[in-house]
């Protein structure tokens, strides 16, 4: 007697069955239903071969799962992805595997969705016209955030203000090639600007929303150029010694995090700002409190610092599996 083959949902299925707007809605629904991000087991890191294994388990309702992410810096020289991985979706009561999913595409889906959930939660209470947005970076997360900004803001979303202009800031615009260029440059005006140029500073100064999605270890820009009511999402790393934002910005902003304990362990922007005396541990606002209304919507500048958590993977992976199986 043979068992049925375990289904695998590849990158096309992961990204095609649950779009950015739906992914954002799913994370909101999970938090409104009482999901506690602090209950998720912490991410673990294990040296493995020539790289690192990141393990991210979670259980929510009748589903459980674990993402195995493999980070190998030397892969770039071989023409291979720096990060690979797989997600294993399980039945929570039996821990019998239900499916596997492409890991990198799942990360590409849930990370922008989490950022946009934070952005929506702040901007929903702020009236105004079309939004000016800036994305810093050109990699897969920058591309994913550009798509999510366009899909998750505007009519039919909690923020009835569409993106009216999107500028993308990169170190060297001439090095951004297809298909990344097409994924980043939208039809609402704006375009690729060199980080540090006058055009880039003008874009930052005018921005309602700024997303930082880079591998930078030092602040990307002087935050004094940003408006007093800017909303910034920084998602570049989950390492305590790397940051994209300067401490001065976190000192004048309300700082929203997925989970304070996780942020104090993994969020370099937060960890270093606290070490420099610009921020206190008690100043961190949990995303769930903002989404559920337990905390009022902040006025002034807001920074969302995301590191990525296992519950986000599980919520989106479960929806992908359900969407694929129901269509068969």
My answer on whether 91 and 159 are in the same domain is no
- Statement to judge: residues 160 and 293 lie in one domain: yes
CATH of the domain at 12: 3.30.1780.10
d(CA 94, CA 201): 54
Tokens of 168: 């993308």
Q: Are 44 and 170 found together in one domain?
A: no
- Report the distance separating Cα 215 and Cα 239, nearest Å: 10
**183 in the same domain as 85:** no
* DSSP structural state of residue 160: -
Listed residue (244, 236, 243, 251) closest to 307, CA to CA = 236
Count the residues in the chain.
Answer: 328
* Residues 126, 94 share a domain: no
Residue 323 phi/psi, 5-degree rounding, is -65, -40
Backbone angles phi, psi at 153, to 5 degrees: -130, 140
Phi-psi region of 82 (alpha: psi -120 to 50; beta: other; left: phi over 0): alpha
Q: In this structure, is residue 327 part of a structural domain?
A: no
For residue 226, the domain's CATH number is: 3.40.50.720
Q: Residue range 112-136: average pLDDT?
A: 97
Inside any domain, residue 69: yes
Residue range of the domain that includes 144: 114-308
Shared domain check, 72 and 23: yes
CA distance 115 to 158: 14
The pLDDT score that the predictor gives to residue 68 is 98
The answer as to whether 326 is a domain residue is no
Half-sphere exposure of 225 (CA within 13 A, CB side): 18
- Give me the number of domains the chain comprises: 2
| pLDDT confidence band for 3 (50 / 70 / 90) | low
Domain-located, residue 2: no
Handedness of CA 193, 250, 129, 120 (dihedral sign): positive
123 and 56 housed in the same domain: no
Place of tokens 């600007």: 193
Which pLDDT tens digit goes with each residue over 153-187? 999 999 999 999 999 999 999 999 999 999 998 88
Looking at the fold, whether 185 and 38 belong to one and the same domain comes out as: no
Hey, what's the torsion of the CAs at 315, 117, 163, 130, to 10 degrees? Answer: 150
Cα–Cα distance measured from residue 6 to residue 36, given in angstroms and rounded to the nearest whole number: 30
pLDDT of residue 188: 86
Peptide bond into 55 cis (omega under 30): no
Contact 153, 163 (CB under 8 A): yes
What pLDDT is attached to residue 1?
36
Dump pLDDT digits (tens) for 264-314: 999 999 999 999 999 999 999 999 999 999 999 999 999 999 999 999 999
Instruction: Note the pLDDT of residue 2.
Output: 42
Q: What is the pLDDT of residue 125?
A: 84
What DSSP state is assigned to residue 6?
Answer: P
Q: Are 217 and 242 in contact (CB under 8 A)?
A: yes
Say if residue 134's pLDDT is above 70. yes
Same domain, 65 and 200: no
pLDDT(18) > 60: yes
DSSP secondary structure string, 266-320?
Answer: H-HHHHHHHHTTS--GGG-EEHHHHHHTSSPPPPS-EEEE----HHHHHHHHHHH
């Amino acid at each position: 007697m043979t068992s049925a083959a375990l289904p695998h949902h590849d990158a096309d299925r992961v990204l095609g069955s649950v779009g950015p707007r739906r992914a954002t809605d799913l994370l909101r629904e999970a938090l409104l239903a009482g999901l506690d991000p602090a209950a998720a087991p912490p991410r673990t890191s294990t040296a493995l071969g020539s790289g690192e294994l990141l393990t991210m388990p979670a259980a929510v309702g009748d589903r459980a799962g674990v993402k195995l992410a493999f980070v190998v810096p030397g892969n770039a020289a071989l023409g291979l992805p720096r990060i690979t991985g797989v997600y294993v979706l399980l039945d929570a009561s039996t821990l019998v595997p239900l499916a596997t999913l492409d890991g990198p595409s799942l990360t590409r889906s849930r990370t922008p969705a989490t950022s946009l959930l934070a952005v929506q939660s702040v901007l929903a209470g702020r009236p105004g016209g079309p939004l000016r947005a800036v994305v810093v970076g050109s990699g897969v997360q920058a591309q994913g955030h550009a798509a999510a900004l366009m899909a998750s803001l505007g009519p039919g979303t909690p923020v009835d203000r569409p993106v009216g202009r999107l500028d993308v800031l990169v170190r060297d615009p001439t090095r951004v090639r297809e298909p990344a260029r097409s994924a980043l440059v939208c039809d609402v005006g704006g375009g690729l600007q060199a980080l540090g140029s006058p055009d880039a500073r003008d874009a930052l100064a005018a921005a309602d929303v700024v997303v930082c999605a880079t591998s930078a270890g030092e602040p990307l820009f002087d935050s004094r150029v940003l408006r007093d009511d800017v909303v910034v999402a920084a998602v570049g790393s989950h390492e305590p010694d790397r940051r994209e934002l300067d401490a001065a910005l976190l000192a004048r902003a309300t700082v929203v995090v997925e989970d304070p304990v996780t942020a104090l362990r993994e969020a370099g922007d937060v960890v270093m700002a606290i070490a420099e005396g610009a921020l206190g541990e008690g100043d961190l606002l949990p995303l769930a409190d903002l989404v559920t209304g337990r905390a009022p919507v902040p006025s002034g500048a807001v920074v969302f610092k995301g590191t990525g958590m296992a519950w986000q993977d599980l919520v989106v992976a479960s929806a992908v599996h359900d969407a694929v199986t129901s269509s068969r």
